[in-house]
Amino acid sequence: MRSQPAPPASETTAYDWLAQSLNTLHRAHWHRQVQPITGSAGPIVEIAGQSLLNFASNDYLGLASDPRLAAAAAQAIKTYGTGSTGSRLLSGHRTIHQELEQAIAALKRTDDAIVFSSGYLANLGTVSALMGARDLIVSDQYNHASLKSGARLSGATLVDYAHSDVASLRQQLQTHRRQYRRCLIVTDSVFSMDGDCCPLPEILDLAAAFDSMVMVDEAHGTGVLGATGAGFVEQCGCSGRPLIQMGTLSKALGSLGGYVAGSAQLIDFLRNRAPSWVYTTGLSPAAAAAALAAIAVVKAEPSRRQQLQHNAADLRQRLDRAIATVPALRSLQRLPSASPIVCLQVKDAATVLNLGQRLRLAGIFAAAVRPPTVPTSRLRLTVMATHQSAHLDQLMAALMAFD
Ligand SMILES: *Cc1c(COP(=O)(O)O)cnc(C)c1O
């Protein structure tokens, strides 16, 4: 037997770059850590023994802790067990998946829908299934990371257009469209780190003019916007137009999973070609049942949506007033928002971290969002339907105590 090769003379290993890379993150104030919440989701959460007012949740309607969703999930576990046991095309398909997909299609007013194990996987699988090396993807520069990853995975040529800028989109289509076979325009409907909305009707008009498909990511629109809670597409009056609608079950719907809704042919195609659906275990029965129960609540209780819009408008107004009148807040800039996501832009990563920590000491949990997630640092506040006016009072008091 040959002896093991001697270790290299220096003490270095092939993993040393990890420590160096982490150091770089720390120095740039980009390093991030998890923080465990000990109890249930809601407007008040407990972290490290401290009770905090929660302005960092995507649980817009307060459904993640709704007893009806929990009961539906528990019943599904009794009926189907905890796991789906296989991919959907083999042994992982249950009647609860079918009911959920039909409910999503009914909400979205499309032929059909397909549920993935997460929104991230829905974007990854859909974009990479639809597009290939001879195709062009034209993407809003602020799109969610999962859309960008899907584009990269597809092998298509990817060009960005300036955020929500219709002239820039037209320019990119004029410059590039003709050199490619198929074209897909992709955009978030509600931008996750800004809270503003895309110019959807104009995008659809351009798509028609340039023989392009459109995919819209409704992660933050579903359950939140539109007369029936179907999302931003409904709010814009674009429900009937040819369109690929993607969204998540994990935000306003309080569960886990993602979906794509659209024509029967689109969904049939994805069931055959989307790798992140074909080669992964089906969504758990509990998650599917909770999402199905959430859709019923969205339909039956429009008052939650109204309360959410009221709270968001209230927060925006209070922040604008505070920025205009409190000298210490004058350097903050509120970004345009048409959703429950309200952001205050701050000059750099160190400042936003400091702001987040001081809010934390005052009992407020809010996200200090920094590069590389976003181009500019910001405090990202999200409101929920279950926030009360007194909660907003407490947030504003904490902000106004700054000097
Ligand atoms: C959260 C989010 C996703 C991913 O959804 P998950 O279900 O959390 O994986 C996709 N797109 C946008 C815009 C999001 O905000």
250 CB near ligand 1 (under 6 Å): yes
Q: How many residues does the chain have?
A: 403
Would you state the pLDDT for residue 97? 98
- For ligand 1, what atom is nearest to the CA of residue 192? 15
| DSSP-based three-state secondary structure for 110 | coil
252 CB-near residues (< 8 Å, 6+ apart): 58, 59, 60, 61, 63, 220, 222, 223, 224, 229, 294, 298
Q: Tokens in use for 194?
A: 């800004």
192 CB near ligand 1 (under 6 Å): yes
Q: Tokens in use for 62?
A: 């307060």
Residue 248 Cα to ligand 1 middle (Å): 6
Q: Please, which pLDDT band fits residue 7 given cuts at 50, 70 and 90?
A: low
119 CB near ligand 1 (under 6 Å): yes
Average pLDDT (190-217) is 97
Average pLDDT (281-300) is 98
Structural contact between residues 258 and 277, judged by C-beta atoms closer than 8 angstroms: no
Instruction: State yes or no: pLDDT of 61 exceeds 60.
Output: yes
Tokens 């275990």 belong to which residue?
Answer: 281
144 CB near ligand 1 (under 6 Å): yes
Residue 1 Cα to ligand 1 middle (Å): 53
The percent of residues in the chain predicted with pLDDT above 90, rounded, is: 90
| DSSP-based three-state secondary structure for 286 | helix
Instruction: State yes or no: pLDDT of 238 exceeds 90.
Output: yes
**Looking at ligand 1, which residue's alpha carbon is closest to its atom 5?**
119
CA distances from 206 to 9, 168, 182 (A): 63, 11, 15
Global pTM reads 0.94
What tens digit of pLDDT does each residue of 365-398 get?
Answer: 999 998 888 889 999 999 999 999 999 999 999 9
The DSSP H or E segment spanning 159 is: strand 157-161
Q: What is the CATH number of domain 67-300?
A: 3.40.640.10
Q: What is the CATH number of domain 33-62+302-400?
A: 3.90.1150.10
Structural contact between residues 296 and 100, judged by C-beta atoms closer than 8 angstroms: no
Can you state the angle between helices 67-80 and 95-108, rounded to 10 degrees?
140
Q: Domain spans of the chain?
A: 33-62+302-400, 67-300
What tens digit of pLDDT does each residue of 90-108 get?
Answer: 999 999 999 999 999 999 9
67-300 shares the fold of 33-62+302-400:
no
